[in-house]
Amino acid sequence: MNVLVINAGSSSLKYQLLNVDTGEVFAKGNAERIGIDGSFIGHQEKGGDKEKLVVELPDHKTAIKHIFEIIDGLGVQVDGIGHRVVQGGWYFPSSAVVDDVALAQVREVAPLAPLHNYAEADVVQICRELYPELGNVIVPDTAFHYDMPERAWRYALPRDVVDRLHIRKYGAHGTSHRFIWRAVNKFSEGKVHKLVSCHLGSGASLCAIEDGHSMDTTMGLTPLDGLIMGTRTGTLDPATVFYLQRVGGYTVDEVDTMMNKQSGLAALSAISSDSRDIEEAAEKGDANAELALDMFAYRCAQLVLEMAQAMEGFDTMAFSAGIGENSDDMRARICEKLGWMGVKIDAQKNAIRSDEIRDISAEDSKIRVLVVPTNEELMIAMDVQELLS
């Protein structure tokens, strides 16, 4: 089955056309600066060179039309469309075939992820209108965490407030964590039972997965909670928000922007939100860059143990996403901080670059340590195949 996977943002749209059974990627790309001057589509076919197509993209509908024109030129039949949806809210414990009710529910929960859900719902509707013969499936990032134990998802707020406003820990990156579990379970031949999954990228979260079930995760009501990220604060005293407003004179929107787009590694390093730039600066002796890396590793190690407590122990941990897959330095830093409890990695294994899942544990490590290239697009496509077949 050939599935077109779409990941829509407020001004961007990523896509990938792949075959679920073989894993072959026919094409992938991204439409950028939608509704903004200087819009373009970056397109790549079958692992070839990426080409930049300068086109006017006044809205998502125009972007989708362009993308389907490009795909039509490949001569590959599209059998279904899968849509990444950031927030499934209180409606979606799993992926779902799109109908009018499901689409309305995606819009209803959009206040929990306003920069994403509205655009995603619009794109789903556009695909239904333009290509009514194709089935659409929504795959919420939050679905994997839907059935976490109540002790993990409930906040200690008044029950009437929580129930009326649907406030709880929803988490994120669920599609990635679900893929990581499946990959690790297959790699270990079913011998993994308690996995701490570390999705470390510009957005980052950890997840405690026991026998395939999410027991806890580090992101909360929104993706701002948990680990320090590229531009997000991660966990801090919630009263900081009040202090910034009352004493600093910042508005609610200014605090929101500060904590989501002006903080994290970018603020700590005063260099960049990209860990590669920060690592390069740290190697040259930049103290702020070194502090940013040390704080990221320190906080990640703390959260590994929080996730382990959710399962009362763990036998495996897996690094994934941009930082987790590519930064041997950060993996070493985190594991070194966990060395007191028996986590050890082999330096030579850790230095190897590969697109395959691999074991970097030292022989005497008490915890198995893996590097797992994530593949959210394949996970979404698999859900499409399962639901539309």
pLDDT at 46: 81
Would the pLDDT of 153 be above 80? yes
How large a percentage of the chain has pLDDT more than 70? 100
Most confident listed range (106-110, 206-210, 271-275): 206-210
CA dist., res. 86 & res. 115, Å (int): 10
Q: What is the mean pLDDT of residues 202-229?
A: 95
Query: Is the model more confident about 60 or about 234?
Result: 234
pLDDT at 10: 67
Q: Convert the pLDDT of each residue in 311-363 to its tens digit.
A: 999 999 999 998 999 999 999 999 999 999 999 999 999 999 988 999 999 99
pTM equals: 0.91
Instruction: Specify the 3-state DSSP secondary structure of 282.
Output: helix
Would the pLDDT of 167 be above 80? yes
Least confident of 69-73, 114-118, 278-282, 299-303: 114-118
Element containing residue 205 per DSSP (H, E): strand 204-210
pLDDT at 309: 96
Query: Inter-axis angle of helices 275-283 and 328-337, to 10 degrees?
Result: 80
Cα–Cα distances in Å, from 111 out to 95, 108, 116, 259?
Answer: 20, 7, 10, 17
Binding residue ranges: 7, 14, 84, 199-203, 274-276, 322-326, 376
Q: Which of 79, 122, 141, 328 is catalytic?
A: 141
CA dist., res. 57 & res. 346, Å (int): 48
Binding residue ranges for ATP: 14, 199-203, 274-276, 322-326
Q: Convert the pLDDT of each residue in 37-86 to its tens digit.
A: 888 888 888 877 888 888 888 888 888 888 888 888 888 889 999 999 98
Which parts of 79-155 are beta strand (E)?
Answer: 80-85, 96-97, 135-140
Q: Which domains does the chain have, with CATH numbers?
A: 2-140 (3.30.420.40), 191-371 (3.30.420.40)
CA dist., res. 216 & res. 157, Å (int): 19
Query: Is the model more confident about 38 or about 216?
Result: 216
Is residue 141 part of the annotated active site? The answer reads yes
Would the pLDDT of 259 be above 80? yes
pLDDT band for position 268 (cuts 50, 70, 90):
very high
pLDDT at 269: 94
Binding residue ranges for Mg(2+): 7, 376
Would the pLDDT of 31 be above 90? no
For 371, list phi and psi in degrees, rounded to 5. -115, 125
Binding residue ranges for substrate: 84
| Contact (Cβ atoms closer than 8 angstroms) between residue 29 and residue 42 | yes
Q: Convert the pLDDT of each residue in 108-150 to its tens digit.
A: 998 888 778 888 888 899 889 888 999 999 999 999 999 999 9
Query: Is the model more confident about 231 or about 149?
Result: 149
- As a dihedral over the C-alpha atoms of residue 7, residue 87, residue 1, residue 40, rounded to 10 degrees, the angle is -10
